[in-house]
Amino acid sequence: MTAFLAKRIGIGLITLIVASVVVFSVLEVLPGDPALLMLGMNATPEALASMREQMGLNAPLIVRYLNWVGGMAVGDFGRSFTYSSPVIDLIAERAVVSLPLAVISLILSTAIAIPVGIFAAARRGKVGDTVSMGVAQVGVAVPNFWFALLLIYVFAVWLRLVPAGGFSGWGGGIWSGVKSLMLPAIALALPQAAILARVTRSAMLEVLGEDYIRTARAKGMPRRYVLWRHALRNAMIPVLTIMGMQFAVLLAGTIIIENVFYLPGLGRLVFQAITQRDLIVVEGVVMLLVASVVVINLVVDVLYAVVDPRLRVR
């Protein structure tokens, strides 16, 4: 298990280094001048030159790359060109929205998808299966921003149960924070749950066709016990893979939902930083996301080993 972990961590580190080079060079070739963007169309050439100096854009490329990577190694992500506050603070401010949102969405989608998937698999071909998979099909097809707008009109404009958007912060207690994340979490979770339910169903069907399941049933084990203990555990590998991927998407790929609910999350930070050519922020956030994907994959790998002991030796 230790060798397994060491190898995984090593691969993760190499991924990070390669990613840092790619991220840095891609952003460098992006057209656009951050100083011009900040000072606008009436700026005098001297003012632009001063701004470039202030932003540290005059140093050679390689120096800037090494400064950046060296800083990150000790936890210093640099200062934003536009906000002029430390990048790590900006990320932290956004992470308190994005991380809970991703976790709530993942919990919601898992809590819906797995029972539905198992239910559908157990009733293969019957009405319950057809109906639940039909609904899931709709869930996969409906764009989440449209679903989000629908939720806003019903729960915020008509019923006035929750605010139409925005984030109240965690200062007013856990409940008020969770309340402002509720609609976005549902909007994000349902389409994901639809996909996850379909994956769970097909993985379960495959396992349910195995000989050992028939044997277990023939021994007289209760149906429910066979489904949840014997079948589900073996069907978990593809389900975990999808869940890992979904969590990574939920962390920063939620820009559209963040816009619809005007939530100050990581996705919007990246989007804003790209349009304002706040390169250092983009670089910092992207690296952090790469790192979190690496960590999520590591966790998923470990979970594989937990559900399937045969994988531990690899």
Q: Using CB under 8 A, which of the segments 10-18, 47-55, 136-144, 304-312 binds another protein?
A: 47-55
Q: Is the separation of the CB atoms in 310 and 6 below 8 Å?
A: no
Q: Is the separation of the CB atoms in 269 and 91 below 8 Å?
A: yes
Q: Using CB under 8 A, which of the segments 134-142, 161-169, 212-220, 294-302 binds another protein?
A: 161-169
Tokens standing for residue 194: 């639809």
| Residue 184 near another protein by CB under 8 A | no
| Least gap, CB of 288 to another protein (angstroms) | 16
* Cβ nearer to another protein, comparing 153 with 225: 153
Q: Which of 103, 272, 307, 311 binds another protein (CB under 8 A)?
A: 272
| Residue 64 near another protein by CB under 8 A | no
- Spatial distance between the Cα atoms of 285 and 141, rounded to a whole number of angstroms: 30
From the CB of residue 44, how many other CB atoms can be counted at a distance below 10 Å? 9
From the CB of residue 3, how many other CB atoms can be counted at a distance below 10 Å? 9
Q: Which of 16, 19, 43, 140 binds another protein (CB under 8 A)?
A: 43
Q: Is the separation of the CB atoms in 140 and 198 below 8 Å?
A: yes
65-94 positions binding another protein, by CB under 8 A? 82-85, 90, 93-94
| Residue 265 near another protein by CB under 8 A | yes
Q: Is the separation of the CB atoms in 167 and 97 below 8 Å?
A: yes
Residues 6+ apart with CB under 8 A from 310: none
Q: Using CB under 8 A, which of the segments 70-78, 122-130, 269-277, 289-297 binds another protein?
A: 269-277
- Spatial distance between the Cα atoms of 19 and 72, rounded to a whole number of angstroms: 13
User: What are the residues facing 79 on neighbouring strands?
Assistant: 86
* Cβ nearer to another protein, comparing 2 with 42: 42
* Cβ nearer to another protein, comparing 39 with 302: 39
* Cβ nearer to another protein, comparing 109 with 144: 144
| Residue 276 near another protein by CB under 8 A | yes
| Residue 285 near another protein by CB under 8 A | no
- Spatial distance between the Cα atoms of 96 and 178, rounded to a whole number of angstroms: 11
| Least gap, CB of 239 to another protein (angstroms) | 33
From the CB of residue 90, how many other CB atoms can be counted at a distance below 10 Å? 21
Distances (CA, A) of 220 to 208, 216, 223: 16, 7, 9
| Residue 305 near another protein by CB under 8 A | no
| Residue 54 near another protein by CB under 8 A | yes
- Spatial distance between the Cα atoms of 224 and 122, rounded to a whole number of angstroms: 10
Task: List residues near another protein by CB under 8 A.
Answer: 30-34, 36-44, 46-47, 50-51, 53-54, 82-85, 90, 93-94, 145, 149, 152-153, 156-157, 160, 163-167, 169, 259-265, 268-269, 272, 275-278
